[in-house]
Amino acid sequence: MKILRLELKNFKPFRDLVLPDTGYLPNGLIIIKGANSTGKSSIVEAILWALWGSDAVKPLTNDELVRFNSVSTQVILIFEVAGTEYKIDRTYDPANKTEVVLYSKTNETWKRIADKSQSVGRKIQEILHLSLKQALNTLLVRQGEVALIAHATPSVLRDLLIKIYNIELMGEMKDHLQHLESDLTTRKGILDRDYEKPENIQKRIVERTERIQEYTDNLDIAKKELEKTKEAFDAVPDPSALEAIRELSSDVEKRAIELQRIEKNLESDLSNAGLLTADSKVVTKRISDLKKKVKEINDSKKKHKKIISEVDGDLGAIAGAKKDLEFKIITLEGSSDATECPTCSKPLTIEERDLVISEYNSSIKDGTSRVKSLKNNRSQSIDAVSEHDERLLELSKAVDSCERIQSKEKELDTVTKDVEKLKAKLLTTIENLGVSDIESLLEKHGVPTLVELERIVRELTNKMGKLETESDYLAREIKADEAHIKKLETDITRMAQVKKDIDNLVSLHEHTLYARRKLVSGFLADFVIQKRLIGIVRGATNQYVKSFTTGQYSGVDLVPTPGRGTGGAGLILKIQDVRDNATKKTSQLSFGDRTAISLGLRLGISRTMSAIRPLKDSPAISPRVRCVILDEPLGGLDKDRRTSVVRNLMNDQSFEQILLITHTDVQQWEGIPVIEVSKQGSSSTATLVIASDD
């Protein structure tokens, strides 16, 4: 596989990126460089996400891939496998989730070959000849992975080879056998819980048989008692008839009380109206007379109110005149010499002034005398109005009583008829029971009250219900026990087969345990790791190690170590130091040497993926991934080591394409295509620069 073109829209820091601007990415080594946090690794994540979706970029989620302040993201990747171009278009937004389409190019035309997540995933695996898990371990050398190899313990190094070469098959077989053992134990436990000795089952059959006999005896007793109760019930009145008699008797009593109330109210209204009969003509004549009397009294009342009003006016005038005269007298008496008349302003002598004062006092005296007479008349009129009000109240009550008499008469007639109907209905209901009255009914059944008779009927009804329920219960229990006995008889036969199955599971568990402990673990350690993979990896790795260390280290060897406990065999990485003419462990090397050798080992592993078959039954079709992505592998190398690594990767013909991500400056990379990643504000951009060889 070779990456040809990448288009990003709102993917992590990239708003809108097309890489390269024109044409396709070249073969060979391509350096992806830029400062930290500019988005170099995001380009790799976009490639992985386009091919395999969110599973390839864990722990990131789809939502975390969408650029800040954007609502969706899109990645279009064009790649080539075995001479055929493919294009995958993957988009995501929270509303519509993930949509993906895979195309292949035929005669310069893109043809859709899959458009669902699952079908695209299957098609990608078919095209590349490897699964996502294999691809991530082959295509991608993650950041920090080289350092991990450099410091790996024997067991970690061994597990790395198993994971990358997909020989977890043997480990999976071991796990499968362990799961089988667990399943066999579980299944045996289930059968053990289900198993019961036949003699115990037979004992339960006997117990059920005895209980059936007991239930049968109780059922016979219940049926006989039920027959007697039904006979007693048939001899008493029907419960609904008794209820009707009780309700009718209550209604007759209530309506009779109501009739008495109406008659009493009618007598009171006749008395208040001054009548002896409720004849309509008499009542109408009485109402007319009363209304005439009311009119006469109201007329007299109006006259007296008028007198009161006139007297109040006169009293007010007298009081005003008195006040005015008293003021004038005070004015005249206050002057010792001649003065003017307070009324006409005429000059007065002393004698004339005294005469005017005398006249004023005489007028005041006459007014006082008249006030006494007016107040006496006013008091008499007030008393008359009060008497008229009392009389009007009496007449109003009499009129109201007259008006009620007619409605009371109709109500009395209606209630009387209702009482007669209820009594007739009650009599009919009683006669239907074969008696003439309630007393005869009570005497017939020997009870003092109707309530007592209802209680007896209710008890008989409840007793029949309980006996019927008990009979049904006993019949069901007998039937259930008979069915259970049949099941128990079948279980006796079934337990023989269960016992046989338990014995078979015990035997199979013993064989499975032996296969896991003795066969699988030994084969994985002795044959696969030691006899096949070590030699293949050693041959593919040595050329990288020698180149990356400028010839100081000429060979890498993977030496098996004995397993400890259940962990299986491990591998120790040993290196031939040409300068010291000695074989060394990685722990004896400098950090830079260790990193360069680990990078060589990791590239050798990825290189062998195109041809290796670790097991005889490994897929005959080799993976078609002929590119590798190296994420920050140069961090632990000095300038000379970095230059040597880059120079050798330029000339490496093992891969069609190598993408090298680094933020470290690399000398002498003239002529190497470079994808320069930079940040502009909140967005990142990337540009392919192909330098000339001049």
pLDDT value at residue 614: 46
- CA nearest to 570, candidates 282, 165, 270, 162: 162
Helix H or strand E encompassing 347: strand 347-348
Q: What is the pTM of this model?
A: 0.49
Q: In this predicted model, what pLDDT tens digit does every residue of 644-692 receive, in sequence order? A: 788 888 877 778 888 888 877 665 567 789 999 999 888 999 999 886 6
Residue 302: which pLDDT band, with cuts at 50, 70 and 90?
A: very high
Residue 6's pLDDT band, with cuts at 50, 70 and 90, is: very high
Q: Domains, the chain, ranges and CATH?
A: 1-129+626-694 (3.40.50.300), 244-409 (1.10.287.510)
- The three-class DSSP label of residue 546 is helix
Q: Which residue has the higher pLDDT, 144 or 84?
A: 84
User: How far apart are alpha carbons 33 and 605 in whole angstroms?
Assistant: 25
In angstroms, the CA 435 to CA 453 distance is 15
Rounded Cα gap, residues 495 and 483, in angstroms: 18
Please report the pLDDT score of residue 521 as a whole number. 52
Mean pLDDT, rounded, for 377-394: 89
Residue of higher predicted confidence among 211 and 135: 211
- The model's confidence at residue 74, banded by pLDDT at 50, 70 and 90, is very high
| CA 338 to mean position of chain CA atoms | 111
Residue 370 pLDDT > 50, yes or no? yes
The pLDDT of residue 617 is 47
Q: What do you get for the CA distance between the two ends of the chain, in Å? A: 31
Single out the residue of 165, 135, 138, 160 nearest to residue 147, CA to CA: 160
Q: Where residue 603 falls among pLDDT bands split at 50, 70, 90?
A: confident
3-state secondary structure of 636: coil
Q: What is the pLDDT of residue 223?
A: 92
* Residue 463 pLDDT grade (very low, low, confident, very high; cuts 50, 70, 90): very high
User: Which range among 159-163, 386-390, 406-410, 493-497 shows the weakest confidence by mean pLDDT?
Assistant: 159-163
The predicted model gives 621-636 an average pLDDT of 73
Q: pLDDT band for position 178 (50/70/90)?
A: confident
Residue 18's pLDDT is 95
Cα separations (Å) of 270 from 54, 276, 405?
A: 101, 6, 7
Contact yes or no for 116/109 (Cβ under 8 A): no
Lowest mean pLDDT among 88-102, 500-514, 593-607, 639-653: 593-607
51 pLDDT more than 70: yes
Q: pLDDT at position 442, please?
A: 86
**Residue 608, amino acid:** T
Structure tokens at 458: 């209710």
Per-residue pLDDT band for 527 (boundaries 50, 70, 90) equals very low
**pLDDT single digits (tens) 488-522:** 999 989 988 998 998 888 888 887 777 766 655 54
Tokens representing 427 are 């009599």
Residue 259 has pLDDT above 80, yes or no: yes
Of residues 38 and 602, the one with the higher pLDDT is 38
Share of the chain above pLDDT 90, in %: 24
Which residues have a Cβ under 8 Å from the Cβ of 345 and sit 6 or more positions away? none
Instruction: Evaluate if residue 597 carries a pLDDT over 80.
Output: no
Which of 85-89, 548-552, 672-676 is the least confident region? 548-552
| Alpha-carbon span 618 to 161, nearest angstrom | 15
Q: How far apart are CA 690 and CA 694, in angstroms?
A: 12
For residues 360-386, give the mean pLDDT: 88
pLDDT score of 369: 85
| Helix ranges (DSSP H) in 39-104 | 40-52, 62-65
Helix axis angle, 154-164 relative to 132-139, nearest 10°? Answer: 120
Nearest-5° angle of CA 464, CA 470, CA 475? Answer: 125
pLDDT for position 133: 76
CA angle 108, 110, 114 (to 5 degrees): 150
pLDDT at position 668: 56
The confidence score (pLDDT) of residue 623 equals 60
- Taking every pair of Cα atoms in the chain, the longest distance, rounded to a whole number of angstroms, is 170
The predicted structure's pLDDT at residue 20 = 93
pLDDT class for 167, splitting at 50, 70, 90?
Answer: low
> Among 36-50, 398-412, 594-608, which is the least confidently predicted range?
594-608
Of 679, 649, 653, give the one whose Cα is nearest residue 661. 649
- Say if residue 165's pLDDT is above 70: no
Tell whether the model's pLDDT for residue 187 goes beyond 90. Answer: no
Assess contact for 35 and 659: CB atoms under 8 A.
Answer: no
Q: Bigger pLDDT: 145 or 281?
A: 281
Query: How do 84-93 and 97-106 pair as beta strands?
Result: antiparallel
Percentages helix, strand, coil for the chain, rounded to the nearest 5? 65, 15, 20
Give the pLDDT confidence score for residue 549 in this predicted structure: 78
Give the lowest-confidence range in 9-23, 210-224, 564-578: 564-578
User: Is the per-residue pLDDT at 636 higher than 90?
Assistant: no
pLDDT in tens, 403-413: 888 788 888 88
Question: pLDDT, tens digit, for every residue of 428-459?
Answer: 988 888 888 888 888 888 888 888 888 988 89
The residue written with tokens 């079908």 in the block is 119
Tokens of 160: 């790395």
Residue-averaged pLDDT of the chain: 83
Q: What three-state secondary structure class fits 648?
A: helix
The pLDDT assigned to 479 comes to 94
Return the higher-pLDDT residue of 106 and 649: 106
CA angle 468–472–475, rounded 5-degree value:
140
Q: What is the Cα Rg of the chain in Å?
A: 61
611 contacts 21 by C-beta, under 8 angstroms: no
Taking 60 as the threshold, does the pLDDT of residue 278 lie above it?
yes
Full DSSP string of 569-615: -EEEEEEEETTTTEEEEGGGS-HHHHHHHHHHHHHHHHHHTTT--SS
Task: Please give the pLDDT value at position 145.
Answer: 65
Q: Rounded to whole angstroms, how far apart are CA atoms 478 and 212?
A: 5
Share of the chain above pLDDT 70, in %: 85
Model confidence pLDDT, tens digit, residues 313-351: 988 998 898 898 888 888 887 766 667 777 777 888 888
